[in-house]
Chains A and B, each alone.
Chain A
Amino acid sequence: MRAFRHLLAHELSATWLAWSTWATWALFLGLLGTIHWYALLVCSQTPQPWTPIEAVFRWFPLPLLCILPLLTMRSFAEERRAGTLGALLTTQAGAGAVVAAKFLCLWLTWVIFWASFAALPHIAGAVLGGSADPRVADPLALGGGLVFVALSGLLHVAVGLLCSSCTRSPALAGLLAFFSLLALTAGGGLIDALPTDGWEWLGWLQGPADHLRSLAHLEDFAAGIVDSRPLALYATGSLLCLGLTTLAVEAAD
């Protein structure tokens, strides 16, 4: 536990002292800001059944696929390339503590990124002044969306870490994370996209695929519905990925 605490403090300082984190954060806010601004523009022209905040969260696969791999790709791949991971494991810190510290650091960073988005609707509300629709900064939609991102982030960050632990190349780790997250978020929709004729034998996949629909989970959370199934999916999925990452780290070097 002591090693974990020190490793976490080290990871947090190393992450937040690196210019690349700030650049990634700027890119993230730029991306979300653009989506939010465009959604505001559309809503101001024609009444929409959704709010700008809901629009941003509906687009969450975009920052997930573009930004999260940038955050996670260096974590283990860079250390394996430099050989510092092997040196770290010669201390009393076990592979589990190393993985847990990196995971918690990156998950906190991901949550901070998303939490910082909360400023944008408030800024928009302040700029628009009294004429603003109260739904511009709807706290329920914002809170529900952030809770969803924090919960699903457990699995998404764990997948990114697992990809980073499998290679010495950060670029390859980023690509692996991109395609793994793409499969995870779009997997449910792909089953629906299959032609109905001749693919009936894949029908058994429909049930599991329904559970993978991230956007459905998001809508539930935003509507205040707490379904235990996605919670179990994200918790068990992240634990499985972290366990595999620990094995990969122990076998590395």
Chain B
Amino acid sequence: MPEVAQQPVLALEAQGLTKRYGRLTAVEGVSFSVAPGEIVGFLGPNGAGKSTTMRILAGRLMANSGRASVCGESIALDPAGARRRLAYMPENNPLPDEVRVREYLELRARLKAVPEEDVGLRVDQVLHDCDLRERAGSLIGQLSKGFRQRVGIADALVGSPEVILLDEPTIGLDPHQILGIRELLRGLRGRMAVLVSSHILPEVEQVCDRVVIINRGRVVAQGRTEDLRRELLPAPALLLEADLGPEALLALARDLDPEAEVSRSADGRLRVALPRGSPARAGLLGALVRAGRSVRSLAEEPAGLEEIFLAATRRDATAREGRGS
């Protein structure tokens, strides 16, 4: 009998999710997946449909159509089974103010079916992981916003789920607190699948393995940042610090590639724009050295997630206009 290759079970899968409120379509045909142990960023501007998608995936909202599953189990058909494998931290992280941190986490652990004999151990572990040990006895209502977010993440972790959904976990935090949450998320890589929604792009870029970009309810791009950069952006320019002016550099670059363009970057460095695959990319440094120029630095111009996001949304807008006409 021929062996059939087993498909690896995805930690989280959304297929064609659509949610309508009357005539308003909040999300339309949203499809993406998260592999076990992977951290995926869910990006989009405010009102793009991130929270709606998250709530569908958490089983708190029914989609009008489409399929969502956690570790192969349908969220709509078996919400209780899905809830066992998944933890969700909603936007604004609602917590009861008059309960102490440890007491709250113990209750949540019990409600998440952690065996009674393991509750203390699990709570100690998440208090340690989320750097909350010194606040374990504090009332939640007396905690700063950063610590409240940590309590929310500790709550998500306490049931040892296979998938965690974090909706805007760093919203309203100061830079120090953001750094702390970022480190916390990095520590989850490989242990559980994490889908983290945000509209703060650098934060996602620094933490996530892949990104899913949503705009006006539709996924407009998804993949690794590097792949999206290649797919959506022109070839990165070269930034140069050397003892020559733009005219001399242009002459040198055009000897290697007639399409080369030279300008000044915002920080005053020389910027050489070259097509992807141009021989000048590899040859420019050698040509400068052969010309007896002193080169202090030569690097590719970094293209951040902002540029990728803008390019993806622009492409989507153009496609919509094309369909409209």
Contact = CB atoms under 8 A, between A and B. Distances in A.
Interface of A: 2-3, 6-7, 10, 14, 17-18, 82-84, 86-94, 253
Contacts of A18: 98
Interface string B131-165: 00000000000000000000000010001000000
Contact of A86 (B84, B90, B99): B90
Contacts of A2: 110, 113
Contact of B83 (A7, A83, A87, A92): A92
B88 A90 contact: yes
A10 B96 CA distance: 12
A206 B112 CA distance: 51
Contacts of A93: 111
Contacts of B315: none
B112 A84 contact: no
Contacts of A86: 60, 90, 94
A253 B159 CA distance: 23
A91 B111 contact: yes
Q: Which 9 pairs show the lowest CB-CB distances between chains A and B?
A: A83-B94, A91-B111, A6-B110, A90-B88, A93-B111, A84-B94, A92-B113, A91-B112, A87-B94
Interface of B: 55, 58-61, 80, 83-84, 87-88, 90, 92, 94-99, 107-108, 110-113, 155, 159
A105 to B, nearest CB: 14
A195 B51 CA distance: 57
Nearest to A9: B107
B98 A90 contact: no
B106 to A, nearest CB: 9
- Give the most central of A3, A86, A87, A90: most B CB within 10 Å: A90
- Give the most central of B94, B99, B155: most A CB within 10 Å: B94
Contacts of B60: 86, 89-90, 253
A159 B113 CA distance: 31
Contacts of B110: 2-3, 6
Given A90-B59, A253-B60, A3 B111 contact: yes
18 contacts: A2-B110, A2-B113, A6-B107, A6-B111, A14-B98, A17-B98, A83-B94, A84-B96, A89-B60, A90-B58, A90-B83, A90-B87, A91-B111, A91-B159, A93-B111, A94-B80, A253-B55, A253-B60
Tell me whether chain A's interface is mostly helix, strand or loop, or mixed.
helix
A90 B80 CA distance: 9
Contacts of A6: 107, 110-111
Contacts of B84: 92
Contact of B90 (A7, A83, A91, A92): A83
A86 B58 CA distance: 11
Contacts, number: 55
- Give the most central of B80, B84, B113: most A CB within 10 Å: B113
A10 B107 contact: yes
Nearest to B91: A83
Contacts of B108: 91
Given A87-B155, A90-B60, 16 more contacts: A3-B110, A6-B107, A6-B111, A18-B98, A82-B97, A83-B92, A83-B94, A84-B94, A84-B96, A86-B94, A90-B83, A91-B83, A91-B111, A92-B113, A93-B111, A94-B80
B95 A84 contact: yes
Contact of A92 (B55, B97, B111): B111
- Give the most central of B61, B80, B95, B110: most A CB within 10 Å: B110
A54 to B, nearest CB: 40
A92 B84 CA distance: 7
B275 to A, nearest CB: 50
Nearest to B97: A82
Nearest to B111: A91
B100 to A, nearest CB: 11
Nearest to A81: B94
A18 B139 CA distance: 14
Contacts of B87: 90
B112 A92 contact: yes
A147 B96 CA distance: 35
A86 B155 CA distance: 14
A207 to B, nearest CB: 42
Contacts of B112: 91-92
Nearest to A17: B98
A87 B87 CA distance: 10
B313 to A, nearest CB: 29
A86 B83 CA distance: 13
A84 B151 CA distance: 13
A202 B31 CA distance: 59
Contacts of A90: 58-60, 83, 87-88, 90
Nearest to B61: A253
Contacts of A94: 80
A90 B110 CA distance: 13
Contacts of B155: 87
Nearest to B88: A90
